[in-house]
Structure 1
Amino acid sequence: MGELGVAVIIEDDLDVRGLLEAVLVQSGFEVHTASCGREGVERVREIGPDVVTLDVGLPDIDGFEVLRRVRKFSTAYVVMLTGREDEGDVLAALQGGADDYITKPFRPREVRARITAMMRRPRHGSGAAAAGTSRTVPPASGGSRSSGSILRCNGLELDYRRRTASLHGRTLELTRSEFELLHEVLRGAGAVLSRPDLVRAVRGGQDRDDAYVSDADERAVEVHMGNIRRKLRDDPESPRWLATVRGVGY
């Protein structure tokens, strides 16, 4: 096994597949490849990788169908790759359980940075200790309160160390990105967070403040926040947890 774990590349373009393989090997992964969707699903099932890069336009079944099948049995980090920067594709990928979405042509260093940032985040539900402890914030009216690594607000409880979230005792099934975003908002204790701030939180908080944030990155945050609202059953017109500050963030 590589230093960072195992990766599976599902990509039909030989040149792109070779480039991704070189990037991931240099990053410290043991790498396996597949040139079509069905083969990719079986590779993921057999190998149990930590990371999957998945092309949308495959010759047999498309990447969204591969993602749907993979998510039935795997919690691997999934990065979708496509030549189209279509908002519908971004929505479909993130709502289907992808962790990130990168358009072609991509910069190898960007792919490497995004994947290594994901690997720094504990898997949702893994119980692994998080790097650092949530800061303690004073309770405010309707705001969040913290106790060690646990944040609470209006019946919502998030335990960062255990990677669990619940609402009035009911477990919330959140993706890794959704968990990171909800944690970032709750620990802000009412502070307004910009979309670039939240993009950096999804990337693992390691980016410099001047790191490039694309429109697709910001749209991805909007999709994630919409999914969180849906799972919380939060009314955007009268929110209890997530309020949109128009032109700024959340």
Structure 2
Amino acid sequence: MTRRVLVVEDDLTIADSVAARLRAEGFEVDLAHDGPSAVTRARDVRPDLVVLDVMLPGFDGLEVCRRIQAEQAVPVLMLTARGDETDLLVGLAVGADDYLTKPFSIRELAARVHALLRRVERAASAAASRITLADLEIDLAERRVTRGGAEAHLTPTEFELLVHLAERPRAVQSRERLLSEVWGWADGTGTRTVDSHIKALRRKLGTDLIRTVHGIGYALEVPR
């Protein structure tokens, strides 16, 4: 099945280069060049993945990401010219799954797109259909999460991270292992990415669910 990617970039040269490479990789590509049209386009075409620039006219990519994720769980690869780590963490907090800092290699961008989609597909093809831990229920087939009967809307990467922890309740997972097994990053860099996604899970599911093991990583506590 052909995957559809929405590229949101106001620099037409970059947008055309990214679109050309992704089309050469076999993707269908839609383009948007400002915040409002990006949200509308995402609603209309229901992309499998969004490549999203932070700096956009209308409103910025952070707001675009926030609005898209409120309507559909879709993996987002964020592009930023900023070097400030705070801006990158904000992007992850509003639902981005990965990011590239400009200038970037078009080849690396294509590789990141493939990696993000593989993560989503692996989760969708999981053998078990449901994980239940007390009042926490994870439906793997429908990619739904509820706690205490209330549904939590997770991004694709938040969902995969939760599943990875829930499959090994109480077992401590190092940040480096989580980066390798959830994100596919083998070099162990980017541990702040893990921390940001853990904060998002706590915000959506409760602060008592995931325990921090200082200097090592995280463990999912079985809810009481």
Q: CA distance change for structure 1 residues 23 and 188 in 2, over 3 Å: closer, same or farther?
A: farther
SS at match of 2:173: coil
Asked if residue 214 in structure 1 is aligned to residue 189 in structure 2, the reply is: yes
Q: Residue 185 in 1 paired to residue 165 in 2?
A: yes
Shift, 1:223, TM fit: 1.1
Match of 1:155 among 135, 140, 146: 135
TM-aligned CA deviation for residue 183 of structure 1? 0.8
Pairing 1:49-128 to 2, within 5 Å after superposition: 49-122=47-120
Where 1:243 maps in the other structure, the secondary structure is strand
Code of the aligned partner of 2:31: T
Q: TM-score, normalised by structure 1?
A: 0.75
Alignment of 1:6-25 (within 5 A): 6-25=4-23
SS in 1 for 2:211: coil
Shift of 1:88: 2.2
Comparing 162-171 and 224-233, the one that deviates more: 162-171
Deviation at 1:45, TM superposition (A): 3.5
- Inter-partner Cα distance in structure 1 for 2:63 and 2:152: 25
Question: SS at the partner of 2:50?
Answer: strand
CA deviation after TM superposition for structure 1 residue 57, in Å: 1.3
Higher helix proportion: 2
For residues 111 and 181 of structure 2, what CA distance do their matches in structure 1 show? 14
Q: Residue 75 of structure 2 contacts residue 157 of structure 2 at CA under 8 Å; is this kept in 1?
A: no
Amino acid in the other structure paired with 2:115: A
- 2:222 equivalent in structure 1: none
Q: How many residues align?
A: 218
Match of 1:230 among 168, 178, 203: 203
* The one of 166, 179, 187 aligned to 1:199: 179
Asked if residue 244 in structure 1 is aligned to residue 212 in structure 2, the reply is yes
Q: Tell me which moved more, 184-193 or 155-164.
A: 155-164
Does the Cα contact within 8 Å between 2:73 and 2:155 map onto a contact in 1?
no
CA distance in 2, matches of 1:12, 1:65: 15
Tell me, which stretches of 5 or more residues in structure 1 are unaligned?
134-147, 236-240
The answer as to whether partners of 1:195 and 1:221 remain within 8 angstroms in 2 is yes
The structural deviation recorded for 1:172 is: 2.5
Q: Which ranges of 4 or more aligned residues in structure 1 deviate by more than 4 Å?
A: none
In structure 2, distance between residues paired with 1:107 and 1:193: 31
Aligned-residue CA RMSD in angstroms? 2.6
C-alpha separation between the residues in 2 aligned to 1:85 and 1:199?
21
Partner of 1:238: none
- How has the CA–CA distance of structure 1 residues 19 and 61 changed in structure 2, closer, same or farther, with 3 Å as cutoff? same
- 2:125 corresponds, among 110, 124, 131, to 131
Cα deviations by residue, 1:59-89 (Å, 9 ceiling, x for unpaired): 4422122223434544433221101132322
Say which SS state the counterpart of residue 100 (structure 2) adopts: strand
Structure 1 residues 150 and 247, CA gap change in structure 2 (3 angstroms): same
State the TM-score, normalized to the length of structure 2: 0.82
Q: In 1, distance between residues paired with 2:20 and 2:31?
A: 12
- CA separation of 1:184 and 1:43: change in aligned 2, threshold 3 A: same
In 1, Cα distance between the equivalents of 2:5 and 2:35? Answer: 15
Q: 1-side partners of 2:211 and 2:81: how far apart?
A: 33
How far off is 1:163 after superposition? 1.8
Q: Which runs of 5 or more residues in structure 2 are unaligned? A: 219-224
Q: For the residues of structure 1 that align with 2:166 and 2:203, how far apart are their CA atoms?
A: 17
Cα–Cα, structure 1 residues 231 and 68, in superposed 2: closer, same or farther, change >3 Å? closer
Aligned AA for 2:215? Answer: G
